[in-house]
Amino acid sequence: MNAPLHLELPPGALDPLRRREESPLIELHDASVRFAEHQALQPLSLRIHPGERVMLIGPNGSGKTTLLRLLHGQLRVTAGERRVQRDAQGREPRQAMLFQRPFLLRLSVWRNLLLALWLAGVPRRERAGRAEQALRRVGLQEHRDRPARVLSGGQQQRLALARAWAVHPQVLFLDEPTASLDPAAKREVEALVLDFAAEGMTVVMSTHNLGQAKRMATRVIYLEDGRLVVDRPVANFFNDPLPQEAALFLKGELPWH
């Protein structure tokens, strides 16, 4: 890859506590989500501020994916409220979302990028330049003409990151993007996400990897049974006493339900 694979933000990056004084990009107020008879998210309130790297952790079925989709606007609240910061023209923050298994069309790497830019409303005259920059950004230039679906798992996730980066999102949502990757590919994806964050992108990501949360987060949210149990800066989350369910999860001792 051409992009540097460092896992530390550069000196001078804004302190996350200072960032939390800024107006939030997205807010939830007593927001809940229900699917028929299933209460996927209990009422919760939180704010996502510019430049944060928020990691969502918790057992399977805890509500991490539902919360990501709600913050992203893919789901509507059943009760409560979702608010977003709008610019002077009334536009919401630009957003992109990546999943554990990226959806790629039966097209070349290059065509997958161009289509994503078209769907995002990027003017035609800008698409080729942005696509070329995105390929360089993730180190996939030599694969531009290959079918996207024959790439390795790590390369496919890097292509998905390239598609997201090319539309210049202010907020990037990621749902366990490294869960099925080998260690080397995992570190490449982590490094790219941290590089994006260093450029000012806000990141909200779910993970089961506690080491990854420690390495990447400025803030950690622990969910269980659709409830927001803990929401703390990363150092406090991993060093201070936690509620029992979160402490058991960190120890790997959370009982089966």
Report whether pLDDT(87) > 80.
yes
Q: How confident is the model at residue 246 (pLDDT cuts 50, 70, 90)?
A: very high
At residue 91, the pLDDT reads 86
More confident residue, 49 or 8: 49
**N-terminal to C-terminal alpha carbon distance within the chain:** 43
Alpha-carbon gap, residue 192 to 100, rounded angstroms: 16
pLDDT above 90 covers what percent of the chain?
81
Question: Tens digits of per-residue pLDDT, 168-217?
Answer: 999 999 999 998 899 999 999 999 999 999 999 999 999 999 999 999 99
Global confidence as pTM = 0.88
Q: Over range 132-160, report the average pLDDT.
A: 95
Contact, 16 vs 70, CB < 8 A?
no
Residue 218 has pLDDT above 90, yes or no: yes
Average pLDDT, the chain: 89
Position of tokens 């920059």? 133
Predicted confidence (pLDDT) per residue in 6-34, tens digit: 334 433 344 544 455 578 999 999 999 99
Where exactly are the structural domains of the chain? 14-93+170-257, 96-169
**What fold does the segment set 14-93+170-257 form as a domain?**
Rossmann fold (3.40.50)
Instruction: Decide: 198 and 204 in contact? Cβ < 8 Å.
Output: no
**In the prediction, which pLDDT does 255 show?**
54
Q: How far apart are CA 50 and CA 237, in angstroms?
A: 20
